[in-house]
């Protein structure tokens, strides 16, 4: 069983040993009920319970006995940091009681071992399907004075190196209490010999990898934007000093939440690191009535003893198999043409049909109609909220255009941005109070639009009805769900002053409930999330929508970095990647078609360009790429990923190119892709050692017909031809013989 509980009779402590295939996580309950963290690392079968390292006196008097002369929790590693009682590190929870006091003294109250993984009410989370797959420890702590209970959940996966943590606070006092901060997970590592890995950026350059040393003080990432954001992804990994792509210990943390978050590593005065992750306490407050409880979202914690690469593969498998849901979860994703960069707002049904003709010839399977099909939406300044087809632009409406696509053998997808409203719209006229705003203050617009207040049930119900009508109005098999601004002027007309700080979290809960209802009602629809590209690329969203538009930046070279960063956590099946026109619309750069195609083939593949302007031979070339992708897509979308050369490995030689591999789960097929970043004359020779192949097998290169042993490919490698002119990208397909 993954969870072992033992009492150590001699000194009155007891401990929990949580075991995954390669890791152990140890919680010690001290004699006085303080719940201490005793380590997380490579799997051990037995724990002495001695925990000698944690009892070492570091200059302050330490528990377990809490010598009454000098009580201090300041350096004791804890499972959940309580405020106001001598642990001066950032707390995991802040509560204001009726008397105005804010101290909490949390001690062990009870524990419960649950077979399987309980749901977290109203929140997305990973799930267990089979018996024995997960065992969950629910460890309840209670304040020594007030009847406030904090239950820490640890869902331990038997066959994956994953522990999922979340927390629930229950108020059993007679009075309301105010939660000012509730972290989902806290880990006191006891040392700070790590580097912190994060994925940061902006619109158009999302999820670039950054690595930094830990130093005393705080290193943190966060979002205060109402959504998880382009700027910081809710992901952190702590890399042991010697960890690399394929070796060393890595601890990965990902927050299953789409709103404001914070993740921080605080290194204290004895150079020990406390990691915390949860809802951002900025603009957060929750009134917990007597008898009520509050659930903080899940943190997925992945352990890898084999470097960052193995951590990524563990995340990928978990997310594909036990986070994503629905009919499309494990189905090969169609090749899409999206008309956005092809037409922007300037289209009618004839233009769309012409584009569909070209796309069909190019091997496309799904036509996605982007922004501009509804209301008075001739540009991005108006009409969001008016979800009625504009029959001036689209004669015959959606049924007609869908039937035209069907005639061509194409599925049909539609863009919507339901969480928004334009001030110039019928919806805004009818319900000016539905947008997020503070009465009496100027409303700040972004992209000339406002956010709807999804913390309100009436708004959520309205959206459910309106969207249901559209989704049912024609044979729509794909929805691109966009979200193009951040939350400002945080306020809801439905909440009183005391409850205003609940609004950002209530918004996220409202969004989740809407998505839950819609995805249940339209199970055949493939939902793709988008937020000005990758502004809401998080596991909370993946629970409802199994793929996400990775970035509005479709430039092949930019995409190498963006996609490599994204794939550190998220599986290729989740990453939408399209081939677009040159010069690229975001960077003005010209890259060869092969490079655009091979780069886009790292995820779910599609196109985003005006194919009607392409010459016959270009369409034929694109058709070949589509055919190739159809051949490899199950390997790419559902196989294992290996980074051969990462864009963040900073060394003069390496930055010239990136290389990655996708290997089918049974290791029978592999796709190797190399993408060059710049050309050099008389360049140093590059040897590319492959990974993840079946060591005892031979593989045939499908292009040359050459057969190699896997060992030769992995231990000696391939010598790469250097980039020359337009030869900027290569793909090698290998089949086991
Ligand atoms: C956002 C999306 C784009 C496109 C436009 C339409 O920017 O990221 O892909 O859908 O909106 O307005």
- For the chain, 737 residues long, the average pLDDT of each consecutive 10-residue run is 70 88 94 90 86 46 52 84 93 97 96 97 97 97 97 98 98 98 96 96 96 97 98 98 96 98 96 97 97 98 98 98 98 98 98 98 98 97 98 96 98 98 98 97 97 98 98 98 98 97 98 98 98 98 98 96 96 98 97 95 98 97 98 98 83 69 98 88 86 98 96 94 77 97
What tokens appear for 210 in the block? 């950054």
- Taking CA atoms only, the protein residue closest to ligand 1 atom 6 is 371
Domain of residue 245 covers 3-43+69-322
Class of residue 613 by CB neighbours under 10 A (exposed 0-12, middle 13-18, buried 19+): exposed
Nearest C-alpha to atom 11 of ligand 1 is from which residue? 532
| CATH code for position 185 | 2.70.98.60
Which residues are near ligand 1 (CB < 6 Å)? 340, 370-371, 380, 415, 482, 484, 530, 532-533, 549, 552
Same domain, 448 and 358: yes
Query: What is the CA(713)–ligand 1 centre distance, in A?
Result: 42
Strand-pair category, 718-720 with 729-736: unpaired
Q: Please report, for the domain that includes residue 714, its CATH number.
A: 2.60.40.1180
- Claim to verify: residue 202 and residue 82 sit in the same structural domain: yes
Q: Which residues does 599 contact at the CB level (< 8 Å), separation at least 6?
A: 556, 559, 560, 563, 577, 673, 675, 729
Same domain, 152 and 15: yes
141: in domain: yes
- Cβ atoms 619, 593 nearer than 8 A: no
Is 327 within the bounds of a domain? no
Distance, CA 690 to ligand 1 centroid (Å)? 37
Q: What is the predicted pLDDT for the residue at 4?
A: 78
Q: Strands 669-676 and 729-736, how do they pair?
A: antiparallel
Q: Is the dihedral of CA 241, 247, 251, 254 positive or negative?
A: positive
Instruction: Please tell me whether residues 607 and 488 are part of one structural domain.
Output: yes
- The pLDDT value recorded for residue 652 is 46
Burial 204-223 (b: 16+ CB within 10 A, else e): bbbbbbeeeebeeeebbbbb
Query: Which segments within 544-591 are labelled E, that is strand?
Result: 547-549, 575-580
For a ligand 1 pocket test, name from 532, 547, 550, 580 the mutation site with the most ligand atoms within 8 angstroms of its C-beta.
532
- How many Å is the Cα radius of gyration of the chain? 27
- Assess whether 622 and 649 both reside in one domain: no
3-state secondary structure of 137: strand
Separation of alpha carbons 112 and 115, rounded Å: 10
618 and 649 in a common domain? no
- Among 574, 609, 637, the domain boundary falls at 637
CA distance 424 to 119: 41
Indicate the angle between helix axes 503-521 and 457-472, nearest 10 degrees: 30
d(CA 316, ligand 1 centre) in Å? 26
In a domain, 688, yes or no: yes
Q: Which residues pair with 162 in a beta bridge?
A: 302
Which atom from ligand 1 is nearest to the alpha carbon of 532? 8
pLDDT of 70 reads 55
| CA–CA dist 172, 151 (Å, integer) | 13
Q: Is the peptide bond before 586 cis (omega within 30 degrees of 0)?
A: no
The answer on 370 and 299 residing in a single domain is no
Mutation to probe ligand 1, out of 378, 482, 607 (largest number of atoms < 8 A from CB) = 482
CA 119 from chain centre, in angstroms, equals 19
Asked whether residue 56 is assigned to any structural domain, the reply reads: no
DSSP, collapsed to helix, strand or coil, labels residue 326 as: coil
Q: Does residue 63 sit within a domain?
A: no
CA distance from start to end of the chain: 40
* Angstrom distance (rounded) from CA 644 to CA 632: 19
Query: Tokens representing 145?
Result: 């004075």
Q: How far is the CA of 482 from the centre of ligand 1 (A)?
A: 7
Nearest-CA residue for ligand 1 atom 2 is 532
Q: Are residues 612 and 673 in the same domain?
A: no
**Interatomic CA distance for residues 324 and 135, integer angstroms:** 20
Contact 250, 307 (CB under 8 A): yes
Residue 316 near residue 330, CB atoms below 8 Å? no
* Whether the Cβ atoms of residue 39 and residue 246 lie closer than 8 Å to each other: no
Could you tell me if 112 and 88 lie in one domain? yes
Spacing, Cα 384 to ligand 1 middle (Å): 13
Closest atom, ligand 1, to C-alpha of 480: 10
Answer whether residue 404 is part of any domain: yes
Report the greatest alpha carbon distance in the chain.
Answer: 86
Domain boundary among 587, 609, 637: 637
Q: Considering only CA atoms, which residue is closest to atom 8 of ligand 1?
A: 532
The residue among 30, 70, 84, 71 whose CA lies nearest residue 54 is: 30
**Angle, to 10 degrees, between the axis of helix 616-638 and the axis of helix 593-600?**
30
Task: Tell me the catalytic residues.
Answer: 482, 552
CA-552 nearest atom, ligand 1: 8
Q: Establish if 50 belongs to a structural domain.
A: no
- Same domain membership, residue 617 and residue 713: no
For residue 583, say if its preceding peptide bond is cis, omega within 30 degrees of 0.
yes
Residue whose CB lies within 8 A of the most ligand 1 atoms, among 203, 347, 370, 373, for a mutation test = 370
585, 613, 637 - which closes a domain: 637
Determine the Cα–Cα distance for residues 676 and 724; give it in Å rounded to an integer. Answer: 10
CA 376 to chain centroid: 34
Distances (CA, A) of 604 to 38, 333, 562, 671: 42, 6, 14, 15
pTM for this one? 0.97
Protein residue whose Cα sits closest to atom 1 of ligand 1 = 532
Beta-strand pair 604-608/575-580: parallel
Residues 18 and 120 in one domain: yes
SS (H, E, C) 55-69: HCCCCCCCCCCCCCC
State the Cα–Cα distance between residues 27 and 15, nearest whole angstrom. 5
Whether 218 and 353 share a structural domain:
no
In a domain, 594, yes or no: yes
User: Which atom of ligand 1 is nearest to 530's Cα?
Assistant: 8
Of 610, 577, 611, the C-alpha closest to 596 is 577
Domain total in the chain: 3
Number of H helices, E strands in the chain: 13, 37
């Amino acid at each position: 069983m993954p969870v072992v509980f033992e009492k150590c009779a001699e000194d009155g402590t007891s401990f929990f040993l949580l075991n995954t295939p390669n890791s152990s996580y140890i919680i010690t309950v001290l004699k006085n009920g303080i719940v201490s963290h005793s380590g997380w690392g490579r799997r051990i079968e037995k724990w002495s319970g001695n925990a000698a390292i944690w009892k070492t006196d570091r200059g302050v008097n330490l528990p377990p006995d809490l010598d009454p002369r000098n009580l201090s929790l300041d350096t004791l590693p804890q499972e959940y940091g309580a405020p106001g009682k001598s642990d001066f590190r950032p707390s995991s929870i802040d509560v204001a009681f009726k008397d105005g006091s804010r101290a909490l003294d949390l001690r062990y109250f009870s524990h419960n071992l649950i077979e399987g993984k309980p749901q977290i009410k109203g929140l997305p989370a990973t799930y267990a399907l089979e018996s024995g797959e997960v065992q969950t420890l629910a460890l309840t702590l209670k304040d020594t004075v007030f009847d406030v209970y904090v239950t820490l959940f640890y869902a331990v996966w038997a066959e994956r190196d994953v522990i999922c943590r979340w927390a629930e606070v229950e108020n059993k006092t007679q009075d309301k209490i105010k939660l000012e901060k509730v972290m989902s997970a806290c880990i006191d590592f006891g040392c700070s010999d790590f580097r912190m890995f994060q994925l940061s950026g902006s619109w158009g350059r999302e999820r670039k990898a950054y690595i930094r040393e830990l130093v005393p003080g705080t290193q943190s990432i966060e979002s205060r934007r109402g959504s998880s954001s382009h700027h910081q992804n809710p992901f952190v990994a702590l890399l042991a000093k010697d960890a690399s792509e394929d070796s060393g210990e890595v601890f990965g943390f990902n927050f299953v939440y789409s709103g404001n978050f914070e993740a921080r590593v605080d290194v204290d005065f004895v150079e020990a690191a406390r990691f915390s992750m949860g809802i951002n306490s900025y603009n957060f407050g929750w009134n917990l009535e007597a008898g009520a409880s509050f659930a903080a979202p899940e943190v997925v914690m992945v352990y890898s003893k084999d470097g960052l690469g193995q951590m990524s593969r563990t995340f990928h498998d978990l997310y594909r198999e036990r986070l994503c849901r629905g009919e499309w979860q494990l189905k090969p994703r169609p090749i899409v043409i999206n008309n956005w960069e092809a037409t922007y707002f300037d289209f009618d049904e004839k233009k769309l049909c012409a584009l569909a003709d070209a796309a069909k010839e190019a091997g496309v399977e799904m036509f996605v109609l982007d922004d501009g099909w509804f209301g008075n939406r001739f540009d991005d300044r108006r009409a969001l909220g008016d979800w009625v087809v504009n029959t001036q632009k689209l004669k015959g409406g959606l049924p007609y255009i869908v039937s035209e696509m069907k005639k061509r053998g194409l599925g049909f997808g539609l863009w919507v941005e339901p969480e928004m409203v334009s001030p110039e719209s019928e919806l805004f006229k009818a319900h000016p109070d539905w947008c997020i705003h503070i009465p009496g203050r100027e409303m700040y617009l972004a992209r000339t639009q406002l956010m709807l207040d999804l913390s309100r049930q009436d708004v959520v119900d309205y959206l459910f009805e309106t969207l249901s009508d559209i989704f049912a109005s024609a044979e729509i098999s794909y929805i691109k769900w966009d979200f193009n601004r951040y939350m400002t002027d945080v306020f809801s007309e439905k909440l009183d002053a005391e409850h205003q700080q609940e609004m950002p979290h209530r918004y996220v809960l409202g969004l989740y409930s809407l998505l839950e209802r819609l995805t249940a009602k339209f199970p055949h629809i493939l939902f793709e999330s988008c937020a000005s590209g990758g502004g809401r690329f998080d596991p909370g969203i993946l629970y409802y929508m199994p793929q996400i538009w990775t970035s509005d930046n479709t430039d092949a070279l930019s995409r190498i970095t963006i996609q490599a960063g994204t794939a550190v956590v998220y599986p290729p099946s989740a990453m939408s990647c399209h081939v677009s026109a040159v010069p690229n619309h975001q960077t003005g750069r010209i890259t060869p078609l092969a490079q655009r195609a091979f780069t886009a083939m790292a995820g779910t593949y599609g196109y985003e360009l005006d194919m009607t302007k392409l010459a016959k031979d270009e369409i034929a070339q694109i058709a070949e790429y589509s055919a190739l992708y159809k051949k490899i897509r199950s390997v790419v979308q559902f196989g294992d990923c290996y980074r051969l050369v990462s864009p963040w490995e900073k060394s003069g030689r390496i930055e010239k190119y990136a290389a990655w591999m996708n290997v089918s789960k049974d290791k029978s097929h592999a796709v190797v892709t190399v993408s060059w970043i710049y050309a050099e004359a008389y360049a140093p020779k590059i040897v590319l050692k492959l990974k993840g192949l079946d060591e005892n097998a031979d593989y045939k290169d499908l292009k040359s017909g050459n057969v190699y042993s896997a060992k030769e490919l992995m231990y000696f490698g391939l010598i790469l031809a250097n980039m020359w002119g337009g030869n900027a990208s290569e793909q090698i397909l290998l089949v086991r013989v």
